[in-house]
Amino acid sequence: MSTERDSETTFDEDSQPNDEVVPYSDDETEDELEDQGPAIEPEQNRVNREVEENRETFRKDCTWQVKANDRKFHEQPHFMNTKFFCIKESKYASNAIKTYKYNALTFLPMNLFEQFKRAANFYFLVLLTLQAIPQISTLAWYTTLVPLLLVLGITAIKDLVDDVARHKMDKEINNRLCEVIKDGRFKVTKWKDIQVGDVIRLKKNDFIPADILLLSSSEPNSLCYVETAELDGETNLKFKMALEITDQYLQREDNLATFDGFIECEEPNNRLDKFTGTLFWRNRSFPLDADKILLRGCVIRNTDICHGLVIFAGADTKIMKNSGKTRFKRTKIDYLMNYMVYTIFVVLILLSAGLAIGHAYWEAQVGNYSWYLYDGENATPSYRGFLNFWGYIIVLNTMVPISLYVSVEVIRLGQSHFINWDLQMYYSEKDTPAKARTTTLNEQLGQIHYVFSDKTGTLTQNIMTFKKCCINGQIYGDHRDVSQHNHSKIEQVDFSWNTFADGKLAFHDHYLIEQIQSGKEPEVRQFFFLLAVCHTVMVDRADGQINYQAASPDEGALVNAARNFGFAFLARTQNTITISELGTERTYSVLAILDFNSDRKRMSIIVRTPEGSIRLYCKGADTVIYERLHQMNPTKQETQDALDEIEENEFAEWNKKFMAASVAVTNRDEALDRVYEEIEKDLILLGATAIEDKLQDGVPETISKLAKADIKIWVLTGDKKETAENIGFACELLTEDTTICYGEDINSLLHTRMENQRNRGGVYAKFAPPVHEPFFPTGENRALIITGSWLNEILLEKKTKRSKILKLKFPRTEEERRMRTQSKRRLEARKEQRQKNFVDLACECSAVICCRVTPKQKAMVVDLVKRYKKAITLAIGDGANDVNMIKTAHIGVGISGQEGMQAVMSSDYSFAQFRFLQRLLLVHGRWSYIRMCKFLRYFFYKNFAFTLVHFWYSFFNGYSAQTAYEDWFITLYNVLYSSLPVLLMGLLDQDVSDKLSLRFPRLYVVGQKDLLFNYKRFFVSLLHGILTSLVLFFIPLGAYLQTVGQDGEAPSDYQSFAVTVASALVITVNFQIGLDTSYWTFVNAFSIFGSIALYFGIMFDFHSAGIHVLFPSSFQFTGTASNALRQPYIWLTIILTVAVCLLPVVAIRFLSMTIWPSESDKIQKHRKRLKAEEQWKQRQRVFRRGASSRRSAYAFSHQRGYADLISSGRSLRRKRAPLDGIADGPAEYRRTGDS
């Protein structure tokens, strides 16, 4: 019992979640988190155990060995792997890459093998084989071969074009040139000839040919700048640093040629941001990490020359390891279509079996006693029935449409191009068009139930603007003149007095400028001095202008604000920073930079003033700073008295700890954080900033329209709760009428529901029907706002300590094993039920906002909705932290914004603004869904109508598998006579215009409910095809009975009958698609009448005497068409047949549109009036009384700042592009001298 108790954690036992913290890192494993608890263990035992574990881990992981300038080392026998029988090759890949799939010899066999892996293609290959057997062949071989060759040929040509492009790209890359040391000198070598262990030289703007260890560069301290656009899509520069010893000794060519370093490192893998290894050289060992590795695919920037040692080459490089196949996404219609094809297979087999039994019976009753039917073979009726089974499989094979999959791909390709060409989704400011990065998901855009959106950069612009500040309780930023009088209309502040102002800041509070210039309030100047000095921004001068490169938009906005208000950051070195303070340049010594990360949510800088005093300046999120303020929270006068420096001895003692933590081998980050905590205390509050991140244009309107389309919006963000809530109101996701529930509210609801479910459980619980109880009363507008910590708590994802018994790898007794298994099952069942309850509760809310969530949690929320609601999901984001969510959703949309291109590169669709989502879903998605559904319904219908005529004919030919049509008609029916109209409908049809689609979002609901294509619709199409085939067969049959032509002859022969049925069929199915077409163009009309004309033209050619003379065995219907179609009553028969097929359809359509009109029918009926009406307008924005408008949240961060670069002495001479965002809207603080 103790084991069970230890392994489960009740809600009461767990600590209360903190709304302000981002949960544990996504990189933490469960074991790491479990081991964080206190453990009683002797210190020396712990040290010994850690040393052994680290040594074993290093031995196990670091098995890749590289010897510099020694190619023979890597050719030793123990580095050879057996590839095929006795053929061996080195485990070190060559640097030549191969992304192509085929070559001249393998293209045909490999491509055919891949195509015949598809069930439909393989099925027709089997049919072709059956047709080669004379005993069962009822159709000419070309009836199957021609369509099959057409399908295979189109696909093969497409694959060939793609592969030729890959060949050209590979050849171009492999033949790039690079300098490699050979025979003691650098020689120009092709990339494909580079090997592991080579020392290479790269120049500015060169692509890096392999994963290399940076040895030295022309920059100070061997700094090297690289652009990683091909790796992660980001155009900002990143820096790499060489080891100090290689920087010192490996600058000259002769030294590089004699370099004999030996490296042990991890095996090739796809982790772009991690590397572990050791360099052994000069009887010393040096640790290597990712900061010293240059990855293939990057470009050298702002560095004249650099040298490197090749670690991984070719297929072993990280970029190639990451180029594996992404998860293939398939649409709901895809799965349904496959099931329907399987259903047709079953129907085909059943029909063939029934007709084969009928033939066996007919042979036994009639055939054996009819001497004129004797064929010279004495086969039994059952054997003849068996042969006829395969004969009917061949005759009825067109029930399975061979061209279906190719036609679907053509339609999807066209729809993707329509998205790419849509000028209304083109963002001219950044020259960014919409892009369909996949062609397989278009119709699924019309079936979305849930949209999961990032906030920063997706709903907002991620362009930060300094709007207000609060200094010593005084708020600045309103429309005020110098005398503090408010004015509704006042000119912007003129910054012309400041030579460093950039002129881009719009500010209207003239009183703040007066305070800065007069110096009456020293705290005001200190406030902006803090903004100018406490940061990790890089500065670059170009054409006399100062350009800042910030690690986040927030930090850039603060430094630019300080610059405009007279405190301009001018330059920095390894240990100094230069500020212009109201025109006076002052240089401060930088003693330490305490960098920002997502756990600390703050950064500090310790400087020595020119007068010799030491001060700490800190800025960060309000929640973490409040905890570190001076207990007395001094007032203005006390603040002035406390502005003393940190004592020298205090700083010296702290600095020793800081230096020791900086060189720690293990757990360096944790050691530094502990040291930072010791000095970041007793802070004096200077002020706070208000930074505005504006909503993108059209966000409220888009969200409103999507909501009317019954699409639920969930916002998943790393921002704090207050900021996310304010954004929710700003974009009208939340309104005044919305009742907001928080984590603590729903936790109790879920706890109660779990208790009720447990009480209802019992022996017979599994047999009881599931009870669906709503969590909230119906009719109320509710929204859920939940933080990442509460999310972990509610979903039982919170890491908890387990008992030591459960940690044993092998239970000692059978009882322990049984208890462990039961406990694990109980925990999993409880967790699954809890998660399902949460999803049910959240889906009852009109909007859900998850804040302070990690990238892993974003993906987890999407996966939960997919798993428990079986709903189609779409995720939209713009940053690297959204990639996991985008890949998890059914459809991923990337926004090309301020955070690089990683989200776009991982997405299925991309565009530049959130507002384009409404057009993507409500117009392109809905149209694609309607077109695909119409296409599939019609495709199945026309094939059933065509094929089942054979079935009715079999009752009149002794079930002998005789075909009802000419062989060439069967061959060309799906290829020429009925293919183009249905393709054009699948590409061009639209029930209402794009403007009306946006004006009436409720039209979108039909896709969500799968109303246009499902098994019911499929069987309706099947029934329609059966009835059409009945009419097509029996009306001509009745017309041909006991008839005599005008010339006294009876044209009641089989060939004339086949021509009559075929003509009626072609006209019927082409006119039927005319009835199904909602949007008529010249192209549609031409395709319908052109297909009919093409049929008659080809038929008269194939029935001519000339072609019969050339190919007498293949064309046997000589003169049939001209003989039959000259009879007026045959034309009357065709007209009657077509009319009987189509008039009931017209009548049913008329009645349904009159009595039961759909939303689309109503809009089509009144479209002229609707076009004349005024367009829908966005309702007035709703402001929430009492809601805080401050934005003081630090979003979940991905990277640290530039402090490591600054403090390491790698001075930044060149322009430095920003890394990913660090902080959102900081509050500013300063260290007091009192402890």
In whole angstroms, give the CA distance from residue 504 to residue 392: 79
Q: Is the torsion defined by CA of 904, 905, 908, 910 positive or negative? A: positive
Angle between the N-to-C axes of helices 119-131 and 332-365, in degrees from 0 to 180, rounded to the nearest 10: 20
The per-type count for the chain, helices as H runs and strands as E runs, is: 44, 35
Determine contact, residues 795/861, Cβ cutoff 8 Å: no
In whole angstroms, give the CA distance from residue 901 to residue 803: 45
- H/E stretch holding 202 reads strand 199-203
Residue 800: Cβ-neighbour burial (10 angstroms; 0-12, 13-18, 19+): middle
- φ and ψ at 337, to 5 degrees? -65, -40
Residue 1045 amino acid letter: G
Across the strands, what pairs with 182? Answer: 185
- C-alpha 1000, offset from chain centre: 28
- H/E stretch holding 560 reads helix 553-564
**SS3 of residue 192 by DSSP:** helix
- Whole-number CA gyration radius for the chain: 38
Determine contact, residues 452/864, Cβ cutoff 8 Å: no
In whole angstroms, give the CA distance from residue 1143 to residue 1158: 21
What b-and-e string marks burial along 944-963, b requiring 16 or more CB atoms within 10 Å of the CB? bbbbbbbbbbbeeebbbbeb
The secondary structure of residue 963, as a DSSP letter, is -
In whole angstroms, give the CA distance from residue 250 to residue 252: 6
CB proximity list for 361: less than 8 A, separation 6 or greater: 381, 385
Read out DSSP for 803-853? -HHHH-SS-SSHHHHHHHHHHHHHHHHHHHHHHHHHHHHHHTSSEEEEES-
What b-and-e string marks burial along 916-927, b requiring 16 or more CB atoms within 10 Å of the CB? bbbbbbbbbbbb
The residue behind tokens 């100090």 is 244
Determine contact, residues 1217/539, Cβ cutoff 8 Å: no
**SS3 of residue 782 by DSSP:** strand
The alpha helices in 870-990, defined as continuous H runs, are 883-888, 902-905, 916-919, 926-954, 967-972, 980-988
Structure tokens, 664: 């720690």
C-alpha separations of 1204 from 593, 662, 1199 in Å: 8, 10, 12
Give the neighbor-by-neighbor strand order of the sheet with 262-265: 64-67, 262-265, 277-281, 284-288
Give the catalytic positions in this structure. 454
The alpha helices in 366-472, defined as continuous H runs, are 381-395, 404-420
Determine contact, residues 944/1026, Cβ cutoff 8 Å: yes
**SS3 of residue 506 by DSSP:** coil
Q: What value, to the nearest 5°, has the Cα angle with vertex 1014 and ends 1013 and 1019?
A: 105
The residue behind tokens 């076009």 is 1171
